[in-house]
């Protein structure tokens, strides 16, 4: 009787199945003792939230494009003005923005930049009929909280002819959180008296002006054989150049501002000559006029006469500008030949 082959076949099949399921089989398909790919996927799917992430967990997209920002002063703050170096500076527009100051146009967004700038637009008026400015550039600073000052860059640099109006723009690098309540403008040229402060918020401050005093005192000059009388009509004092004389060829803004600790004194006078035994004429004595302060004589920084050499029955309009210490309260104007003190006349002047 022959042996039944079925048990042998089943034994062989069982051995093969055990070999296939042993740890050594398929070792290249997964890490030893680790979960199967199917099990990992299943675990991840179970751990993932079923809804959107909470708002606090959302991270800003670092690839998002930057946006142009513009901050402007409160309504009614502008325009406002200040004076410096005889020029009138009127702020007509201002902005704090991350746009390019040189290309910025109010009401139109341009490409943003990494920096934040304070932009100030000026209308600059030169009322003098005589003094011209080769450039209106001056050291303008923005005072920020904590004592920080930022020097502005003059992007326009225009000149200003007599009796003209020009426009210019200054730009300042400021922190991104700067507001107009933080900003005060001030001119600070080295070695010169600073301007008054001009805030860009709140009420506008008073504009600095020179003091003007009517004198109206007439005295004779004791030159033998000549009937000469000087009348001091007006006295001007201040930190800005007071009269339309001097600066032949023009000046910079700082040149028309008093030095630190000093101020200008302007004198407007009239010289009348009646009888004159003076063949060839006589000098109106403006060239020898001196201002004596606390015993120290000061010669004029600039002088102008409508008729420097005079004859009988003529007159001359005279303007003089002196540079004196700011704390002086009185001065004496001496008029007459320097080499002949007995022929000189003195005008006692109170300086406000």
Ordered by start, the domain boundaries in the chain are: 70-199, 211-350
Torsions phi, psi for 23 (to 5 deg): -55, -30
**Chain segment 289-327, per-residue pLDDT in tens:** 999 999 999 999 999 999 999 999 999 999 999 999 999
What pLDDT shows up at residue 65? 79
Nearest to 262 by CA among 326, 339, 340, 331: 326
- Looking at beta carbons, which pairs linking 127-130 to residues 24 or more positions away fall under 8 Å? 127/86, 127/88, 127/163, 128/86, 128/162, 128/163, 128/244, 129/162, 129/163, 129/244, 130/162, 130/244, 130/245, 130/247
pLDDT for 202 beyond 60:
yes
User: Is the model more confident about 136 or about 60?
Assistant: 136
pLDDT band (50, 70, 90) for residue 15: very low
The H-or-E segment that residue 150 falls in is: strand 149-151
Q: Which residue has the tokens 């502008």?
A: 78
Task: Kindly indicate whether the domain formed by 211-350 is annotated with CATH number 3.40.50.10310.
Answer: no
What pLDDT shows up at residue 142? 98
**What is the DSSP code (8-state) at residue 333?**
E
Cα angle 20-21-26, degrees, rounded to a multiple of 5: 70
What pLDDT shows up at residue 40? 40
pLDDT band (50, 70, 90) for residue 153: very high
90-102 mean pLDDT: 98
178-196 mean pLDDT: 98
d(CA 18, CA 98): 73
> Would 70-199 and 211-350 be classified into the same CATH topology?
yes
pLDDT band (50, 70, 90) for residue 61: low
3-state secondary structure of 151: strand
What percent of the chain clears pLDDT 90, i.e. is strictly above it? 79
120-132 mean pLDDT: 97
Question: Mean pLDDT, the chain, as a whole number?
Answer: 86
d(CA 100, CA 180): 19
pLDDT for 62 beyond 90:
no
176-187 mean pLDDT: 98
3-state secondary structure of 49: coil
pLDDT for 230 beyond 90:
yes
Residue 23 Cα distances to 15, 36, 41, 227, angstroms: 15, 13, 21, 134
2-21 mean pLDDT: 37
Sequence-ordered list of residues with C-beta below 8 angstroms from that of 274, at least 6 positions apart, any chain: 227, 229, 312, 313
Longest dimension (CA), the chain: 178
245-275 burial by CB neighbour count: b if 16+ within 10 A, else e?
bbbeeebbbbbbbbeeebbbbbbbbbbbbee
Cα angle 44-49-51, degrees, rounded to a multiple of 5: 145
Class of domain 70-199: mainly beta
What pLDDT shows up at residue 63? 63
pLDDT band (50, 70, 90) for residue 168: very high
β-partners of residue 146 are: none
């Amino acid at each position: 009787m022959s042996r039944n082959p079925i048990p042998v076949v089943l034994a062989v099949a069982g051995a093969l199945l055990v070999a296939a399921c042993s740890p050594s089989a398929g070792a290249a398909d997964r890490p030893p003792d680790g979960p199967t790919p199917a099990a990992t996927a299943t675990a991840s799917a179970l751990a993932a939230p079923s809804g959107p992430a909470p708002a606090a967990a959302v991270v800003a997209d670092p690839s998002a494009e930057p946006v142009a920002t513009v901050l402007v002063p409160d309504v009614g703050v502008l325009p406002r003005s200040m004076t410096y170096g005889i020029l009138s500076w009127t702020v007509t527009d201002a902005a704090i923005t991350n746009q390019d100051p040189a290309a910025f146009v109010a009401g139109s967004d341009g490409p943003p930049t990494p920096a934040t700038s304070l932009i100030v637009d000026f209308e600059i008026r030169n009322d003098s009929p005589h003094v011209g400015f080769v450039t209106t550039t001056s050291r303008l600073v923005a005072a920020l909280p904590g004592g920080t000052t930022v020097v502005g860059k003059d992007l326009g640099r225009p000149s200003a002819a007599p009796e003209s109006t020009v426009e210019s723009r200054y730009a300042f690098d400021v922190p991104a959180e700067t507001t107009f309540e933080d900003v005060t403008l001030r001119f600070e040229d080295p070695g010169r008296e600073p301007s008054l402060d001009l805030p860009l918020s709140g009420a506008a401050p008073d504009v600095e002006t020179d003091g003007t005093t009517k004198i109206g005192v007439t005295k004779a000059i004791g030159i033998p054989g000549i009937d000469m009388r000087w009348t001091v009509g007006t006295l001007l004092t201040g930190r800005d150049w007071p009269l339309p004389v001097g600066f032949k060829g023009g000046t910079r803004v700082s040149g028309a501002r008093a030095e630190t600790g000093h101020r200008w004194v302007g004198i407007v006078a009239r010289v009348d000559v009646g009888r004159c035994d003076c063949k060839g004429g006589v000098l109106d004595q403006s060239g020898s006029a001196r201002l004596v302060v606390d015993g120290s004589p000061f010669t004029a920084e600039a002088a102008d006469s409508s008729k420097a050499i005079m004859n009988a029955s003529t007159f001359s309009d005279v303007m003089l500008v002196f540079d004196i210490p700011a704390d002086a309260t009185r001065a004496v104007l001496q008029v007459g030949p320097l080499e002949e003190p007995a022929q000189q006349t003195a005008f006692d002047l109170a300086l406000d």
